[in-house]
Structure 1
Amino acid sequence: MAWKDKLQPATFRGVPFEVESDDGSFGRRTQVHEYPQRDKPYAEDLGRATRELNVTAFLIGADYLDARDKLLEALETAGPGTLVHPWYGELKVSLKDPARVSHSIANGGMCTVQLSFVEAGELAFPSAGNSLGAKSLEAADRLQEAGSFDYVEKFDVNGKASSVFDDGVKTFNDALDLIDNAESTVKSIMSNPLDFLKQRATTLIPDAVAMADTIFGMYKRGESVVESVASMFGGGGASARNGDVVSALTSLSATFANRATIADAVAKTPGISPSRAQAATNAAAINHLFGQAALVQAVGMTTTMDLPIYDDAVKIRDNVTAALDNESLIVSDPVYVALQDARAAVHADVTGRLSQSARLKTITPRSITPALVTAYDQFEDVAREGEIVDLNKIRRPGFVPAEPIRVLSV
């Protein structure tokens, strides 16, 4: 097929015209930076340049004046229009400069039109969207509020037998012992030493509001969590260590939920004395309080921590949502609603961030080498040393063992 056979009839907004010649400009936008006392400049690439097309058109024939008027009407219509260019095909363009129309007595029966177009592009505004992370933090706050209110409603030692007070102190200390015996990662995010909380037991037990505030405030929040983990483990594997903390918190919440279930069953035992029933109710309330405090912290950490690894992110999401579901089985209606709201918020937040997480692959170094060397061998980028240390929780980056380790696939 000859090149002439490939040419398309020229039109603008559906109005036909003939083309004598054309030219266009294409390429990149470049900003040249020149510096004193330097012989070589720096050319900064600012992206693709706007495409411009200049067309010398003409209209000819007995009805060329009518054709001219139709073309002028099309050119004066607001907004971008469709140009069918003989060589470039269909394009969305805007008129860059006013068209110039020329008539000549020597060339009667025709007129020439100089057209200058630029690609129309699009007007893009920043899109507004919901912050899923902020929704998770709001859901955690609502869970804390609902859990605190529920605890204040159910826990009572005032005017009761001294054994009820003593049982409350024992349950409180048992809960702290459970945390003390948990993984060390949990204790790294405590706001106060556990012994300090135990010393306050006799003053907190009679004051349900102070107790709820203390328990929900026993964990550090935000960046202080990352700093605590980094300082505890020498800065290696902060993201992975925070994932371990979340896992430990969800495990703790499950244990507290089991204890609360047992205490609830005791409180509902037929024929039990009022004092024992209240002591059991108090025990259930304390365990629910500790469990929900762990879940509030887990939700907050999941929302604020980095999730660089796809598999780890999915695991954390599933652990947290399962723990929230487990707690939902044994609580009052207001707390149930707050737990389910938190579950939905965490699931949406983490799922929305999965596209930013990378997959993993396993490699085995040939010998014991520094993480710096491993990063260069694998990625030819020594700046990714910290990534390898983080993923594999390596405490001594100068000595990566000759055994399977995880690295990002990209």
Structure 2
Amino acid sequence: MATWRDRLQPASFRGVPFDVDADSIGVGRRTQTHEYVNRDEPYVEDLGRATREPGLTGFLVGDDCFEQADKLIEAFEAEGPGELVHPWLGRMKVSIVGKATFKRDRREGGVIRFDASYVEAGELKFPATTVNTSQQVGTAADSLATASKSNFATLLDKVNAARVSVAAYSQTASKLYTAVSNQFEPFASLFTDAADFASQVVNAPSYVVDELFSTLDAMTYSFSGTGSALSAITSVFSSLRDSGSASTAQGTDAAGLQSATVQVVQDALLVSAMRTIAAVTVPVVSDTSQSGPTDPVSVPAVGSQTGTSDVEYDEAGDVIVPIDTPVVDDVLAARDDANETIWDMGLDASYDRFQALTTARQAIVRHLNEIARSGVRIVTIEPVEPIAALVLAYQRYGDATRADEVVTRNRVSNPGFVPAGEIRVAER
């Protein structure tokens, strides 16, 4: 059984050793007592742990005690905090409080005694601001919805709907109906088919648009994984592009109605995609700045990279594997797709709609860039011969436990036989 003597450590300050006669330390809690009128008992507010203030009575002994004292004086007079090795509290980052007093007694030749008081030195920290890119996307989506409805009303004022036949609008209606059926099923259910949708748009376009945005506002967007969110976003942008692929309708009024409805449906699809993007959280990655390239906790598990919500913790309770860490390549591909598509939408937009689309595009790019920063990048390697996943993981990462990651990402049927050829693995 360890005794108190076993716990004692050689004392030093800034690497200069000394012996200790006695030591003390002030500890406790910082409190504020609140007393109230006509109330016998006060309320004591806890303000946190009190600053630790160790004190030491030490001595230097030996024929070179003067040289030892000179080094210790230099350490005491050095600027900034230093490391104190306390005999039983261990290593502490402290600053000297006031003056350390050195004493030499003629009757104690070869001995110099001193008293020193310290205070633990914390770090100077300032509040750091972080841009909420998710909220910016959501705000931009709301602004786009408002601008889109205003733009539609302006365009509709220039159209004489009485001159538009359902037949002239049918091809456009078919494209739009397919798009809203894929993304806004509750809205599409208001119509029996594309022909009914065309008839409703021609005869009551404002009603149809009001219902479209009402459905959009009633939809809920929850985060179930970056992988599924990126798939949903890709699907929305595919529907958005298809919705505008119909040939131009014949007749000025038919073409005007076509342009107005295509723009408003595309805007609604974009708003839906933006709300899905806004629901994607930016993963909080534990600090791995001190981790080497072979540190097994420096890259999340492959299951985490594909959308699972599992979290692993170390013994201290810190997150080892962040929630749903995205694959950088997938996020950047979605970002570029959105950037290009929205840019094309704005080429023939009115001023107000162009401004809303530009704000939306910039917000999406910022948010997806933040998500990508927390992701894992995938690279391709080519083993020259078949190799076991366990050996491949150890050779690349110095961590054989990541063999499952190699197997899962590449759908290897036999972990003991990863075929030669292109293999996708995490960069680090």
Q: State the TM bucket, normalised to the shorter chain.
A: 0.5 to 0.7
**What are the Cα deviations for residues 260-308 of structure 1, in whole angstroms up to 9, with x where unaligned?**
8x45xx6xxxxxxxxx322210001111122222222333333433661
Partner SS for 1:91: coil
The match for 2:255 among 277, 280, 290 is 280
Measured in 1, the distance between the counterparts of 2:246 and 2:365 equals 27
Change (3 A) 1:304 1:89: same
Unaligned 5+ residue runs, structure 1?
A: 1-9, 11-18, 26-49, 59-82, 181-186, 227-237, 267-275
Partner SS for 1:114: strand
Q: Are the aligned partners of 1:359 and 1:409 in contact in 2 as well (CA < 8 Å)?
A: yes
Change (3 A) 1:376 1:298: farther
Measured in 2, the distance between the counterparts of 1:132 and 1:397 equals 43
Aligned equivalent of 2:186: 192
Measured in 2, the distance between the counterparts of 1:135 and 1:304 equals 11
Change (3 A) 1:363 1:101: closer
Aligned equivalent of 1:321: 339
Equivalent runs, 1:135-174 vs 2, <5 Å: 135-155=136-156, 160-161=161-162, 163-164=164-165, 167-168=168-169, 171-174=172-175
Measured in 2, the distance between the counterparts of 1:307 and 1:297 equals 23
Matched, 1:361 2:379: yes
**What are the Cα deviations for residues 57-89 of structure 1, in whole angstroms up to 9, with x where unaligned?**
99xxxxxxxxxxxxxxxxxxxxxxxx9743996
The letter of the residue matching 1:340 is: T
Aligned equivalent of 1:254: 241
Q: Are the aligned partners of 1:22 and 1:53 in contact in 2 as well (CA < 8 Å)?
A: no
Change (3 A) 1:122 1:134: same
**What are the Cα deviations for residues 14-34 of structure 1, in whole angstroms up to 9, with x where unaligned?**
xxxxx9956699xxxxxxxxx
Equivalent runs, 1:230-245 vs 2, <5 Å: 239-245=226-232
Measured in 1, the distance between the counterparts of 2:130 and 2:73 equals 38
Equivalent runs, 1:9-408 vs 2, <5 Å: 21=18, 54=56, 85-86=74-75, 90-92=79-81, 114-155=115-156, 160-161=161-162, 163-164=164-165, 167-168=168-169, 171-177=172-178, 187=182, 190-192=184-186, 194=188, 196-199=190-193, 201=197, 202-203=199-200, 205-216=202-213, 217=215, 221-223=220-222, 226=224, 239-257=226-244, 259=246, 262=248, 276-305=251-280, 308-362=326-380, 380-381=400-401, 404=422, 406-408=424-426
Please identify, of 298-307 and 325-334, the stretch whose mean Cα deviation from structure 2 is larger.
298-307
Aligned equivalent of 2:37: none
For the aligned residues, what is the CA RMSD?
A: 5.2
The letter of the residue matching 2:138 is: L
Q: Are the aligned partners of 1:55 and 1:115 in contact in 2 as well (CA < 8 Å)?
A: yes
Measured in 2, the distance between the counterparts of 1:115 and 1:57 equals 11
Shift of 1:337: 0.2
Shift of 1:334: 0.6
Measured in 2, the distance between the counterparts of 1:291 and 1:243 equals 18
The letter of the residue matching 1:344 is: Q
Aligned equivalent of 1:69: none
Shift of 1:244: 3.7
Measured in 1, the distance between the counterparts of 2:146 and 2:96 equals 60
The letter of the residue matching 2:265 is: F
Measured in 2, the distance between the counterparts of 1:198 and 1:304 equals 32
Shift of 1:361: 3.0
Measured in 2, the distance between the counterparts of 1:145 and 1:283 equals 20
Shift of 1:95: 5.7
Change (3 A) 1:127 1:56: same
Q: Are the aligned partners of 2:328 and 2:377 in contact in 1 as well (CA < 8 Å)?
A: yes
Q: Are the aligned partners of 2:175 and 2:243 in contact in 1 as well (CA < 8 Å)?
A: no
Shift of 1:330: 1.0
Q: Are the aligned partners of 2:100 and 2:117 in contact in 1 as well (CA < 8 Å)?
A: no
The letter of the residue matching 2:350 is: S
The letter of the residue matching 1:354 is: A
Identity %: 19
Q: Are the aligned partners of 1:95 and 1:115 in contact in 2 as well (CA < 8 Å)?
A: no
Aligned equivalent of 2:38: none
The structure that is helix-richer by fraction is: 1
Please identify, of 122-131 and 326-335, the stretch whose mean Cα deviation from structure 2 is larger.
122-131
Q: What's the TM-score once normalised by structure 1's chain length?
A: 0.56
Unaligned 5+ residue runs, structure 2?
A: 1-12, 24-51, 61-71, 83-93, 281-323
Shift of 1:53: 7.8
The letter of the residue matching 1:297 is: S
Measured in 2, the distance between the counterparts of 1:209 and 1:384 equals 55
